[in-house]
Amino acid sequence: MARLGMVIDTRKCVGCMDCVVACQTENDVPHGYCRDWITTEVRGTFPNLTMEIRSERCNHCDNPPCVYCCPTGASHVEPLGKTVQVTSNRCIGCKACLAACPYGARFVNPKGYADKCTFCLHRVKEGKDPACVSVCPTHCMHFGDLDDPKSAVSVLLATRTWHTLLPEAGTRPRVFYLT
Amino acid sequence: MLELTTTRHNPLVDPSLHVWGWEIPVYLFVGGIVAGMMIIAGIAMLRLAKGEDPRGFFSVQTPLLGFMLLNVGMLALLLDLAHKLYVWAVYLTLEPLSPMSWGSWVLLVVYGVLLVSALIRLPDAWPWLGARVPALARVSDWLLARPALIRALAWVNIVLGVMLGVYTGILLNTMVARPLWNTTILPVLFLVSGLSAAAAMMHLATRIFPGRPAPKGLVGGALAAMVQNLGPQPPEKRTGDALVRADIGFLAVELLLIGILVIGLLSSTASHAAAAELVLGGPYTLVFWGGVVAVGILVPLVLQWLELGHRIPHTVLPAVLVLAGGFALRWVMVNAGQASQIVQAAGLH
Ligand code: SF4
Ligand code: SF4
């Protein structure tokens, strides 16, 4: 079975937030909340500055603390693509997963359950890319099976330099940023 | 320089990331007291099984008081849940990796054990109920005639008390994302702080109308059943002194554990050291050193030591301070813990 992941080219991303709006529309994300967001990171000392713009979301971690801490099994690893999902009618809204995620990827939906990026599993089932990937005007996002060495994502990871977010948290994130 | 324009991991920047408010510190505090009371009651029940201390306040009323306190804690816990109507989902599964899951099962067993333990002397402790439900007297006699059963119940109380006392600390401890919590000292600290708060709570309870006959009515009788010693005399002086002595021990160990906690954080990774800064000059410094350490530990430690040496009269002040400090500890840990996060490496990727 596939192990789905995302590869995002920070050299192409301009931070237009199309991915954020596409996600909110596609997934009916309640007003004022977001499942993906843009982070701008500036490093260095003037005039030697570097900037990285990133579209961030749940990393569908291989070692997901949010799944381990969940008392009901509502947060779980879905067999489809080994993605991390929340079953809303099993969630008690204890917020342990919000505290456990080092990326702030989760929020409490106003209806009471924990909510976050699903990698648009409903679209993946129809053979489509997640909404954010499909709308990106710079085509900086790629989505596919990390276990398939011939997939676009695997080829990019094999040929370019990349990093993940907070690798020191030991979560083994599956959203990769090309540099 | 490293400048991030959004780190979503901050409830001040993004209120939707707010996790736990006042409810969880209240639950952790009350749960800790109940855990400590179960351990102390268990020890008292071992004495009861040996035929000593038949009036035994601790073995008799403590489980009832614990039961009522636990209700308060569980109410706070329920208030915290954002998806309350689905709370039953906790009891559809046992997730071994989730301390919250096995803790919920422990809580269920704790309820049962507290009830059975309260039954040992319930008709004597609460005559109003005893007169109306004669079966209670039969249950009580049946239990009292079986020291082996009481001994077993005592050990169940002690073991469950320890589990209840440590599970909340383990729960926080497992969260890598929150460096302040990732210390193995936390479960032990919560257990010892629960024990000292329990000793203080019981000390306070024994001093509410000591030596007066128990109120007979429904409400007064129920209250007295939880907090008043059986019979017309106040609890023996040595019982009170034993509590004070035990509390001095607990407070001293707690002080040591807090020292180890801070040193452990400071000598660990950059993220852990940054977490320690929250209580070393950061926004939680005053509550931590002033509230938890000074008011909650040092002052009652000195007062109780002077009381034992008969240099000052016994008062309830140290008990009140210990309880306040116990709550402050949970409050600081829950709030500062949520504010702590993994610090990014400053170098380039
Ligand atoms: S990014 Fe956060 S919510 Fe997503 S799988 Fe990892 S720990 Fe869980
Ligand atoms: S908030 Fe819901 S999904 Fe998250 S840990 Fe609690 S029960 Fe699980």
* DSSP string of B268-334, one letter each residue: S-HHHHHHHHTTTTSTTHIIIIIIIIIIIIIHHHHHHHHHHTTSS---SHHHHHHHHHHHHHHHHHH
Which pLDDT value is given to residue B213?
65
User: What's the mean pLDDT in B292-307?
Assistant: 96
Is residue B87 domain-resident? yes
Distance A29 CA to ligand 2 centre (A): 18
Sign of CA dihedral B215, B47, B62, B324: positive
B218 confidence band (pLDDT: 50, 70, 90): confident
For residue B272, what are the CA distances in angstroms to B10, B13, B91, B186, B287? Answer: 17, 22, 35, 14, 19
Residue B110 lies in a domain: yes
Residue linked to tokens 């799944």: A67
Which of B2, B346, B7, B5 shows the shortest CA–CA distance to A40?
Answer: B5
Instruction: Select from A68, A72, A106, A111 the residue to mutate for testing ligand 2; criterion: most ligand atoms less than 8 Å from CB.
Output: A72
Q: Does B3 reside within a domain? A: no
Q: Where are the domains of chain A?
A: 4-178
Is residue B122 within 8 A of residue B129, CB to CB? The reply is: yes
CA-angle at B329, arms to B194 and B65, nearest 5°: 35
End-to-end CA distance of chain B: 13
Least confident of B6-10, B234-238, B313-317: B6-10
What residues of chain A lie within 8 A of the CB of B100, using their CB? 69-71, 94, 96
- Pick the residue whose CA is nearest to atom 6 on ligand 1: A61
Find tokens 């995002």 and name the residue. A8
Q: Confirm whether B185 is domain-assigned.
A: yes
Taking CA atoms, B95 is separated from A76, A79, A101, B89, B107, in Å, by: 11, 18, 18, 12, 15
**Rounded to whole angstroms, what are the CA distances from B300 to B40, B149, B262, B295?**
20, 37, 22, 7
Residue B78 to residue B87: CA distance in whole angstroms:
8
Distance CA B187, CA B172 (A): 9
Q: How many helices (H) and strands (E) does chain B have?
A: 15, 1
Residues A51 and B194: their CA atoms lie apart, in Å, by 49
pLDDT category, A31, cuts 50, 70, 90? Answer: confident
Distance CA B11, CA A65 (A): 20
Average of pLDDT values for B146-155?
93
Number of folded domains in chain B? 1
Provide long-range contacts, Cβ within 8 A and 24+ apart, for A75-78.
A75/A114, A78/A121
What residues are in contact with ligand 1 under a 6 Å CB criterion? A 58-61, 64-66, 84, 101, 103, 105-106, 116, 171
Show Cβ contacts of residue B57 under 8 Å, excluding neighbours closer than 6 positions. Answer: B44, B202, B205, B206, B229, B230, B235, B239
The Cα of A95 is separated from the nearest Cα of chain B by a number of Å equal to 6
CATH value of A4-178 in 3.40.50.12280, 3.60.40.10, 3.30.70.2700, 3.30.70.20 = 3.30.70.20
User: What is the span of the domain harbouring residue B166?
Assistant: 17-347
Q: Given a cut of 80, is residue B4 above it in pLDDT?
A: no
pLDDT digits (tens, 9 = 90+) for B78-108: 999 999 999 999 999 999 999 999 999 999 9
Kindly provide the ipTM of the predicted complex, given to two decimals: 0.90
Is residue B21 in a domain? Answer: yes
pTM: 0.92
CATH number at residue B26: 1.20.1630.10
- Which ligand 1 atom is at minimum distance from the Cα of A116? 3
**Would you say residue B6 lies in a domain?**
no
Q: Do B98 and A96 touch (CB under 8 A)?
A: yes
One-letter amino acid identity for B259?
Answer: G
pLDDT(B27) > 50: yes
pLDDT band at residue B202, thresholds of 50, 70 and 90? confident
Q: For ligand 1, what atom is nearest to the CA of residue A106?
A: 3
Those residues with Cβ within 8 angstroms of residue B314's Cβ, 6 or more apart along the chain or in another chain? B240, B244, B307
Chain B residues whose CB is inside 8 A of the A29 CB are none
Compute the distance between CA of residue B226 and CA of residue B229 in angstroms, rounded to an integer: 9
Cβ separation of A42 and B1 shorter than 8 Å? Answer: yes
Output the average pLDDT for chain B.
87
Closest Cα to atom 7 of ligand 1: A101
The residue whose CA is least distant from atom 4 of ligand 2 is: A97
Residues B346 and B338: their CA atoms lie apart, in Å, by 22
Rounded to an integer, what distance in angstroms lies between the CA atom of residue B134 and that of residue A96? 46
Q: Is the pLDDT of residue B347 over 50?
A: no
Q: Is the separation of the CB atoms in B42 and B155 below 8 Å?
A: yes
Interatomic CA distance for residues B118 and B120, integer angstroms: 5
